[in-house]
Amino acid sequence: MSSEGVRFEASEEFARRMDAEDPLRHFRDEFLFPLHHGEQSIYLVGNSLGLQPRKAKPYVVEALEDWEKLGVEGHFAARHSWMPYHELLTEQTARLVGAQPLEVVVMNTLSVNLHLMMVSFYQPTRERSKILMEAGAFPSDQYAVASQVRFHGYSPERDILRLTPRSGEETLRTEDILETIERHGREIALVMLGNVNYLTGQAFDMAAITRAAHRHGCRVGFDLAHGAGNLLLSLHDTGPDFAVWCSYKYLNGGPGTLGGVFVHERHARNNALPRFEGWWGHNKQTRFQMGPDFDSIPGAEGWQLSNPPIFQMAALRASMELFDRATMPALRRKSDLLTGYLEFLLDRLPPGFVRIITPRDPKQRGAHLSLRFSKEPRKLLEKLTAQGVVCDFRSPDIIRAAPAPLYNSFLDVYRFAGVLEGHARD
């Protein structure tokens, strides 16, 4: 078996050789791993909460010290002044998701941003009232979508179209998504999909979906919670109207930290769009004149409501600098190999022990593999945890394992498979 022309081998020596040849191997040292009996744990939940970058603490401490010494003057006189602090993340975020700087902003959290985007991009009419989403979308997205539909006086039962896999299949077929858009396009106000499904790990063809939806006059938005920092994205060229994501998974920004928003350039100066407004979205030159009328900053920044939380942004800066140094194309290359290696080793475990439900095609997935085991998954997870392996469980019966290319090694993957092999045989 091979991935990208590499012939995988099921041996520790091979895993170590892959690590020695990995051009990104030094990034592992930039992160703090939870310890298990004094050793780094095998941390495979970067798809849930990424690890702490070493520089997160000094960056947060810098902001705390500036606050201590400067008080309110820190807005202008801090080492990184707080007034334009969020702009420190703009260029890096734009590179991360393949956008223009004008198109991105870091603010709020994912579900909040999804609501803000739907305020602007879900404008149902009697003829075009529906939202197309995955039946298996993350629950918060389902609640957000249903409540928006109700807010406009429509009915979630009638106005949410839910994509389900064919009977006997675990994941959606692109052709079925496109066919649904062809069939219902004229009734759909908004196509709102993930780009990597949280449960199955399936990645969707964002470009084909966006093209089809726009051809039918629908608006398109993506939830990139499991895609940002994982997949190679080119949001500007792909062309959805908006995208939202969180920064605590692959982006290692820390628990509950800020989300990101993309609004396509075509909407940058469209003041006819409905939106919820706040003072941080107001023209920076006149913000402090404190006038009563809102004058939007062009682009995604215009959707900001509040002045941003500096400590959270400080921690996120530490990780975004690493992404910028590593670059997404290089991370994606390594990720394909790491996850391909995990797949290769899982396929060698005793028959019937584990089934991979994530698509086998590397183009239809990111880092994570979703696994169904013949043994009771919660008990298995407990045993793995006791052995220093950190994965996660998602109801009803899935264990997810995500080698994150910024800090996981081929040896992590090899050791994980070794621990599983022990359980396959007991």
To ligand PLP, the closest distance from the beta carbon of 205 in angstroms equals 18
Work out whether 251 is an interface residue with ligand PLP (CB under 6 A). no
Phi then psi for residue 252, to 5 deg, are 55, 35
CA-to-CA distance for 86 and 280, rounded, in angstroms? Answer: 11
- Amino acid letter at 77? A
Work out whether 212 is an interface residue with ligand PLP (CB under 6 A). no
Work out whether 336 is an interface residue with ligand PLP (CB under 6 A). no
Work out whether 134 is an interface residue with ligand PLP (CB under 6 A). no
Q: Which is nearer to ligand PLP, 105 or 297 (CB)?
A: 105
Work out whether 414 is an interface residue with ligand PLP (CB under 6 A). no
Tokens of 171: 């994941």
Instruction: Give 238: exposed, middle or buried? Use CB within 10 Å, 0-12, 13-18, 19+.
Output: buried
Q: Are 1 and 10 in contact (CB under 8 A)?
A: no
Q: Which of 30, 103, 134, 141 binds ligand PLP (CB under 6 A)?
A: 141
Site stretch for ligand PLP (CB under 6 A), options 36-44, 218-226, 387-395, 396-404: 218-226
CA-to-CA distance for 192 and 301, rounded, in angstroms? Answer: 21
Measured from each CB, the residue nearest to ligand PLP is: 111
In the three-class reduction of DSSP (H, G, I as helix; E, B as strand; rest coil), residue 53 is classed as: strand
To ligand PLP, the closest distance from the beta carbon of 194 in angstroms equals 5
Annotate each residue in 285-304 with x if it binds ligand PLP (CB under 6 A) or - if it does not, as one string: --------------------
Site stretch for ligand PLP (CB under 6 A), options 76-84, 137-145, 157-165, 316-324: 137-145
Return the sign of the alpha-carbon dihedral for residues 387, 418, 45, 393.
negative
The b-or-e profile of 87-117 (16+ CB within 10 A means b, else e) is: ebbbebbbbbbbbbbbbbbbbbbbbbbbbbb
Report the chain's terminal Cα–Cα distance, integer Å. Answer: 27
To ligand PLP, the closest distance from the beta carbon of 112 in angstroms equals 7
Site stretch for ligand PLP (CB under 6 A), options 13-21, 104-112, 179-187, 385-393: 104-112
In the three-class reduction of DSSP (H, G, I as helix; E, B as strand; rest coil), residue 359 is classed as: coil
Q: Which is nearer to ligand PLP, 3 or 140 (CB)?
A: 140
Work out whether 410 is an interface residue with ligand PLP (CB under 6 A). no
Q: Are 46 and 404 in contact (CB under 8 A)?
A: yes
Q: Which of 223, 301, 343, 412 binds ligand PLP (CB under 6 A)?
A: 223
Annotate each residue in 57-96 with x if it binds ligand PLP (CB under 6 A) or - if it does not, as one string: ----------------------------------------
Going by the DSSP 8-state scheme, the letter that residue 250 receives in this structure is: T
CA atoms within 13 A of residue 9's CA, in its CB half-sphere: 8
Q: Which of 100, 123, 140, 283 binds ligand PLP (CB under 6 A)?
A: 140
Q: Which of 27, 85, 198, 410 binds ligand PLP (CB under 6 A)?
A: 198
CA-to-CA distance for 179 and 173, rounded, in angstroms? Answer: 10
To ligand PLP, the closest distance from the beta carbon of 147 in angstroms equals 13
Q: By CB under 6 A, name the binding residues for ligand PLP.
A: 109-111, 138, 140-141, 194, 198, 223, 225-226, 246, 259
